[in-house]
Amino acid sequence: MRRFAGWLALVALLLAGCVRDAGVEQVTEPDGDGVAIDAGGAATGGAGDCTVVDVAVSAEKIDLFSELAEQFNASGDAQFDGGGCAFVEPRSVASGRGAALLSEGWPEPEANGPAPVVWSPASSAWAGVVNQRLAVAGAEPIAPEGEPFMLSPLVIGMPQPMAEALGYPGEPVGWSDILTLARDAEGWGTYGHPEWGPFRLGKTNPNFSTSGLSALMAQYYAATGKTEDLTGEDLARPEVEDFARGVESAVVHYGDTTLTFLNNLARSDARGTALTYASAVAVEEVSLINYNRGNPDGVLEPGEELVPPRVPLVAVYPEEGTLFSDNPFIVLDAEWVDATERAAAERFGAFVQRPENQLRVLEFGFRPGNPEVAIGEPITPALGVDPTQPQTALEVPEPQVLVDALERWDVQRKGARVLITMDVSGSMGEPASSETPDTKLDLAKQAAIGALEDFSPNDEVGLRIFSTDLSPTEPTDYIDLVPIGPIAEQRDQLAERIEQLVPTAGTPLYTATASSYSDLVAAFDPQRINAVILLSDGVNDDPRNADLDGLLATLTEGTEGGSTTPVRIFPIAYGGDADLGSLRRIAEATNAAVYDASDPGSIDRVFTAVVSNF
Amino acid sequence: MSRVVAVLVSVALVTGAFYLRARLDNAPAAVQPTSPAAATERAPGPLQGDPAEPRLVCADELAAACTALGDDPEVPYTVDLQAAGDTVEALASGEAPDLWLVPAPWPQVAALLVDAAPPAEGAAQPAPAPEVSEPLARSPLVLAGFVERLAALQPVCGGSVTWSCIGEQAGTPWTELGMPDASGSLRPGHLDPTTSASGLLVLASAVTSHAGRTDLNRQDLASEEFIAWFTNLESEVPDFAPSSGSQVTEMLTRGLASYDVIGTTQAEATLRLDNAPDGPLEIQVLIPEPVTTADVVLVSFGAAGGLEGARQSLDEPLAAALADSGWVTDLAGDATPLPADAGFPDAGFLVALQERWQEVAR
Q: What is the mean pLDDT of residues A45-56?
A: 90
In angstroms, the separation between the Cα of residue B347 and the nearest Cα of chain A is 31
Provide the whole-model pTM: 0.83
pLDDT for B123 equals 61
- Residue-wise pLDDT for A425-451, tens only, equals 999 999 888 878 899 999 999 999 999
Nearest CB to B253 within list A124, A369, A396: A369
Return d(Cα B1, Cα B214) in angstroms, integer: 19
Q: Nearest-5° angle of CA A126, CA A127, CA A132?
A: 95
In the predicted structure, residue B46 carries a pLDDT above the cut 70: no
Instruction: Give the residue from chain B lying closest to A368, CA to CA.
Output: B253
Q: What is the mean pLDDT of residues A292-308?
A: 87
- Partners of residue A322 in chain B, C-beta under 8 Å: 257
Instruction: Give the residue from chain B lying closest to A376, CA to CA.
Output: B279
- Residue-wise pLDDT for B85-126, tens only, equals 999 999 998 889 999 999 999 999 999 999 888 876 766 565
Query: B interface mutation test: which of A392, A398, A401 has the most B CBs within 10 A?
Result: A392
Q: What is the mean pLDDT of residues B138-142?
A: 97
Q: What is the mean pLDDT of residues A501-529?
A: 95
Nearest CB to A392 within list B45, B184, B239: B184
Band (pLDDT 50/70/90 cuts) for residue A32 is very low
Nearest CB to B243 within list A124, A343, A367: A124
Q: What SS3 state is found at A559? A: helix
CB A491 within 8 A of CB A456: no
In the predicted structure, residue A386 carries a pLDDT above the cut 70: yes
CB A349 within 8 A of CB A118: yes
CB A461 within 8 A of CB A468: no
Q: Nearest-5° angle of CA B245, CA B248, CA B249?
A: 60
Quote the percentage of chain B above a pLDDT of 70.
82
- Residue-wise pLDDT for A112-146, tens only, equals 899 999 999 998 878 887 888 898 899 999 999 88
Band (pLDDT 50/70/90 cuts) for residue B14 is very low
Question: Bridge partners of A251?
Answer: A201
Interchain CB distance below 8 Å, B252 and A229: no
- Residue-wise pLDDT for A577-605, tens only, equals 999 999 999 999 999 999 999 989 889 88
pLDDT for B45 equals 34
B179 touches chain A (CB under 8 A): no
Interchain CB distance below 8 Å, A375 and B255: yes
In the predicted structure, residue A405 carries a pLDDT above the cut 80: yes
CB A202 within 8 A of CB A282: yes
Interchain CB distance below 8 Å, A321 and B184: yes
- 258-317 in B: which are within 8 Å (CB) of A? 258, 272, 275-281
In Å, how far from its chain's centre is CA A186? Answer: 30
Return d(Cα A253, Cα A281) in angstroms, integer: 11
Summary mean pLDDT of chain A = 88
Element (H, E) at B86: helix B84-92
A359 touches chain B (CB under 8 A): no
Instruction: Give the residue from chain A lying closest to B146, CA to CA.
Output: A388
Nearest CB to A347 within list B44, B244, B272: B44
A318 touches chain B (CB under 8 A): no
Interchain CB distance below 8 Å, B280 and A347: no
Question: Length of chain B, please?
Answer: 362
Band (pLDDT 50/70/90 cuts) for residue A42 is very low
B253 touches chain A (CB under 8 A): yes
Question: Bridge partners of A480?
Answer: A464
- Residue-wise pLDDT for B256-301, tens only, equals 999 999 999 999 999 999 999 998 999 999 999 999 999 999 999 9
Q: What is the mean pLDDT of residues A81-96?
A: 89
B360 touches chain A (CB under 8 A): no
Q: Nearest-5° angle of CA A287, CA A289, CA A290?
A: 65
B348-351: list long-range contacts, CB under 8 Å, 24+ apart: B348/B112, B348/B217, B348/B218, B349/B204, B349/B216, B349/B217, B349/B218, B349/B220, B350/B105, B350/B109, B350/B200, B350/B204, B351/B109, B351/B112, B351/B113, B351/B116
Band (pLDDT 50/70/90 cuts) for residue A37 is very low
pLDDT for B15 equals 44
A391 touches chain B (CB under 8 A): yes
Residue B77 amino acid letter: Y
Interchain CB distance below 8 Å, A376 and B240: no
A136 touches chain B (CB under 8 A): no
Return d(Cα A63, Cα A46) in angstroms, integer: 18
Q: Cβ-count burial of A4 within 10 angstroms (0-12 exposed, 13-18 middle, 19+ buried)?
A: buried
pLDDT for B31 equals 29
In angstroms, the separation between the Cα of residue A379 and the nearest Cα of chain B is 10
CB A29 within 8 A of CB A611: no
Quote the percentage of chain A above a pLDDT of 90.
68
Element (H, E) at B299: strand B293-301
Which region among A187-191, A282-286, B141-145, B244-248 has the lowest average model confidence (pLDDT)?
Answer: B244-248
Interchain CB distance below 8 Å, A328 and B243: yes
Nearest CB to B183 within list A319, A369, A370: A319
Summary mean pLDDT of chain B = 85
